Amino acid sequence: MYVRFWGTRGSLPTPGPDTLRFGGNTSCVEVRTTADTLIIIDCGSGLHGLGQALAGSDGTPLSGHILISHTHWDHIQGFPFFDPFYPSENEWDIYAPKGLGQSLQDTLAGQMQYTYFPVRLDQMGARIRYHELVEDDFQIDDVRVRTRYLNHTALTLGFRLTADDTTLVYASDHEPFSRNLASGKGKIQGQDRRHCDFLAMADLVIHDAQFTFNEYPCKIGWGHSTVEYAVAMSREAKVARLALTHHDPLRTDAAIEEIVGIARNEQNDRLPTLDIFAAAEGQSLTLRPQERRVAGNAATTLNTPSLASPLLLMAVSDPSTANKIREAAQADGITIFEAGSITEALNTAQSVQPSLVILEIESDEVDAVEDHTWTHRLGKLPALDIPILIVADKENAARQAVVEGWLIKPFSSAYVRTRIRACLLRTVCRWERVLTSRNEEQRLAILHGLRILDTPREERFDRITRLAASIFNVPMALIILVDRERQWFKSTYGLDESETSREVSFCTHAVASEKVLVVPDTFQDPRFADNPLVTEAPRIRFYAGCPIFAGANCIGTVCVLDNRPREVDTDMIGLLHDLAALAEIELQKTQPTKN
Ligand SMILES: [Zn+2]
Ligand SMILES: [Zn+2]
């Protein structure tokens, strides 16, 4: 099940420099199943962007289903601006709570009266069918939908969608039934218990978290949740991931980050692990089934999701590698069972019932992985559907059937943590590393021969990054040289760091391909979405880098970065080439020396 956030703000759209990261558009979520059923939840101002994306995809008629939680303005204000409502060949089914007086159609027509909007509801060309909902359980194509009333100032429904063996719950806007629970502490009972049951075991819960408990005393009766309540309910319901949403209009990106940090810290050491994040406009994720089925017996499932009390079984002999894995596991509260050898690990796997197995093998064993002897050696492990990660110096790229993936050394604990999380959350790791290039040794010899690494800042390079930032109108521009294990910054505009590890580097991708690399939106790119430079500061959302050559060897890039998604045209690429050429000229002035 594919999920994308198009609007995450509550109450009022708040575009601006302080809301770039989490977004300023009001509520809208896109859901797509593998059978390509499209369900849109809520029609806040985020719906406009989704409409543009859908209308632009290709010329074929569009159809889909729209679930509206309630008709407060921030959940319907994008409705008149949804382009796919206008062509006559499109078909839409709209679902919303059944009110007492007005019909759904009349309510939606209300905000499109002549006084407010130039086009009337009945002038929209598409075929639109209206469905009024109460608490129910029904089917939309391959999606099972359950609805439950939430506690809000208007009649509001939450939606529980099940498809592709995964479950998503959308619960916004909603206030704790018992005000005592706003602190996240206290006995969950009555209506709150019923709400908890509605969230039970979901792979993803998208929950109202407009206020914090500190703010709540002034907001009682406004119909919204506290962060603490959303976390407590999700934890009690054994949910895998919680997306906090309906961000308060006064909340800046920095304030949201702080709140998420506090929510995460408070649950340290507590099981089950709950993955908490703040929904960000443009962010997408793919949910995969949590409960892995026992092969040959579809009716039997390992009935505790691996996240409930995650256990990592590992046999890793290299001490520094083992340490990195220990650090990564510890950071997420994962228990480790360490075996002395692969054989011991495989022998104990059945009794230990790990959520994940990590095995280190020698270089000369790499080619043997995935052949018969290995399959035999792994015994019942693949049948139990326990993911296996193999640590090695190089990858066996031939087949990928038996093991979940490869961890190629060297790697940081941040990288292995991302990979472990992806395995446990049944998602794909969207962080691709490029650790070497064509002619790596020759390339490094030329770079080191320039004797420019670790030299002080120089105006002749700084003027290039200043120009780059100005031409592209971006907050950050860099001249980067890619060393063996790091990228070092000869010049920076808008960034204080002087280097980062190579494994997080965007530029190493450009250097390896020796071509311009443009990433219009990192959230949408499987190579970068989980990269720490995207998920944490400096939160790169856009990247464009042009290689710099010394002779025939690509040694670095001139690149521009932004915190918002961007498109670039061919003229801009041309200018980036010009800037890279200027950097190359300056590098040539640096006297090469023989090592
Ligand atoms: Zn709202
Ligand atoms: Zn509302």
> What is residue 57's predicted lDDT score, i.e. its pLDDT?
67
Distance CA 461, CA 456 (A): 11
pLDDT value at position 427? Answer: 80
pLDDT of residue 247: 98
Close Cβ partners of 581 (under 8 Å, ≥ 6 residues apart): none
What is the structure's pLDDT at 268?
A: 61
pLDDT score at 32: 97
Q: Is the pLDDT of residue 378 over 80?
A: no
Structure tokens given for 95: 């679902």
Count CB neighbours of 50 within 10 A. Answer: 23
Does residue 454 have a pLDDT over 50? Answer: yes
Q: What local confidence, expressed as pLDDT, does residue 367 receive?
A: 78
pLDDT at residue 302 in the model? 34
Tell how far the Cα of 395 is from the centroid of ligand 1, in angstroms.
49
C-alpha 539 – ligand 1 centre gap (Å): 27
Q: What DSSP designation does 591 have? A: P
CA 154 remoteness from chain centre: 31
For 30-83, how does the pLDDT look when each residue is reduced to its tens digit (9 = 90+)? 999 999 999 999 999 999 999 999 987 677 899 999 999 999 999 999 999 999
pLDDT of residue 577: 98
Q: What distance in angstroms lies between residue 101's CA and the mean position of ligand 2's atoms?
A: 18
* Across 159-185, average pLDDT: 95
What is the model's pLDDT at position 298? 31
Determine the pLDDT at residue 492. Answer: 97
Ligand 2 mean position, distance from CA 303 (Å): 36
pLDDT, residue 295, reads 33
pLDDT at 231 over 70: yes
Q: Name the closest ligand to CA 10.
A: 1
Task: Please give the average per-residue pLDDT across 397-414, as a whole number.
Answer: 81
pLDDT at 595: 45
E strand intervals along 121-201: 127-133, 136-140, 143-149, 157-163, 166-171
pLDDT for position 308: 61
Q: What percent of the chain has pLDDT over 90?
A: 76
What pLDDT score does 305 carry? 37
Strands (E) in 354-475, as ranges, are 356-360, 388-392, 405-408
pLDDT 10s digits, 571-582: 999 999 999 999
pLDDT tens profile 497-554: 999 999 999 999 999 999 999 999 999 999 999 999 998 889 999 999 999 999 999 9
* 240 CA distance to ligand 2 middle (Å): 26
Q: At 352, is the pLDDT very low, low, confident or very high (cuts 50, 70, 90)?
A: confident
Query: Residue 220's pLDDT band (boundaries 50, 70, 90)?
Result: very high
Of 365 and 48, the structure prediction assigns the larger pLDDT to: 48
| Span from the CA of 153 to the centroid of ligand 2 (angstroms) | 7
Q: For residue 26, report the distance from its CA to the centre of ligand 2, in Å.
A: 11
pTM of the model: 0.83
**What residues have CB less than 8 Å from 30, skipping those under 6 apart?**
2, 3, 4, 6, 38, 39, 40, 50
Residue with tokens 């506690």: 151
Q: What is the pLDDT of residues 258-299, one digit of tens each?
A: 999 888 877 765 655 788 999 999 999 999 886 543 333 333
Specify whether the CB–CB gap between 27 and 54 falls below 8 A.
no
- C-alpha closest to that of 17 among 365, 252, 286: 252
Contact of 143 with 189, CB cutoff 8 Å: no
Alpha-carbon gap, residue 392 to 359, rounded angstroms: 9
Ligand 1 mean position to 159 CA, how many Å? 15
Per-residue pLDDT for 339 more than 90? yes
246 C-alpha to center of ligand 2: Å? 10
Q: What pLDDT shows up at residue 271?
A: 58
Model confidence at 253: pLDDT above 90: yes
Burial class (CB in 10 A: 0-12, 13-18, 19+), 348: middle
Query: What integer pLDDT is reported at residue 267 of this predicted model?
Result: 72
For ligand 2, the distance from its centroid to the CA atom of residue 47, given in whole angstroms, is 16
The pLDDT mean for the chain works out to 90
